[in-house]
Chains A and B, each alone.
Chain A
């Protein structure tokens, strides 16, 4: 009796399973039947990076796009920086890659060299490229050809919690590093565990300190680049970094995205962190009580004369070589680069726009003001394809050098290991 029941259950399970299998295969039905002039049913796939597209801008550009192409759909997918290269590489090799992708400025030469990005040289003017600031366009040009459109730039500033700072009796932002540390001491003595939250693997932040100390991550030796961390300047920069890290409980072996430092800041008990505008607004979204409490200032220099040098991060927009909708993709690019949307992005996101004429949009955005002041004194990584290898996880700058020193190795020992790995990666293609 019992057995019959079991057999029946078994058979039923088999049948339902098979039935379910029948229904599962239609997960990728596409209706690409439309003709070239008809945009109905077309979908433009756009990959943007986490933190790049503020909500207002996203809503407006989607509306504008769909008004211009009735029936077409704009699908924006937000990607995480962590592991993006392995994802992008495979995506670019596929028959239906995303049509438009955002590529970090340091990673753009890598992808230009793979041939995965469409050559935009002939349409540069049409997209609006005549007024792009040449210095900002540098990373989008490879071998004399335009492979992407410079989209925005940003440099990290100190984001601070005004309530915590004023509770410690501090009313004006520090102008020198000495002032910064004495302020942090005061905040710490008030019982704030995280006077400054700086996770051990924020290499963008570290690169700023390094640039300020007067060195680069790599140097040119003959006609090739090699690691350059075994220097007094790097030792000085990591020392500053280590000192700042000790003003909080941030992990020494994690980067600023694990966990998102904006989430940590959102809890309201962190004095300050080194961050970007979207991280500050992310924190406010999470904890609206912070709305009027968030302030910004450029990371101070050694003297009050000028703020410290910073790493200028930025992003380009590119069309993939394999895009099935190259016209729509180009029009989307034109739209995004237009004064209207480039301006809106600058205004809402507080990022530096690609044209000097739009800089005025930053007025009133507190982060943007601090950030562009800092960016005046900025630098970036070498614009060579092999640089992309260095950023692949595990990144030797962060895992071997920064975490190594923070956990007690001597800067020189850690630098030797990191440099060896950097050399190896820079020599690969």
Chain B
């Protein structure tokens, strides 16, 4: 099934949830509302066979609203197809439902996203920091976290 057909079926099922569809370098990215992310992911897995969640991560678009995007890179082992789902998350009260019930592998990915990006995953079975020490303050991959370390001047933009 082509990416367009998948997107059409997704739109038919979740008409008010699909915000945007972009194709770039042959890869399809579908942006959806975060409210029904678990239902959408379950639909993608059961209906289109995206049985492997390759990767889950957060992206910080500081200065825009909503500030964060949670990105799901999906793969279908049977048809060897990829597709990407994104869900925007507001800065205030940054949270989204966990998809670890859909793919078990999301567990550690979501812990990492919480640890480094500070996005909370509702109903996550074990939402602890994973890479940083348990008593660490702040979320290092946020754009306002200085690359030099926590006690330095905040990031002011690129040098060149």
The answer to whether A and B belong to the same complex is: no
Chain A residues with a Cβ under 8 A of chain B? none
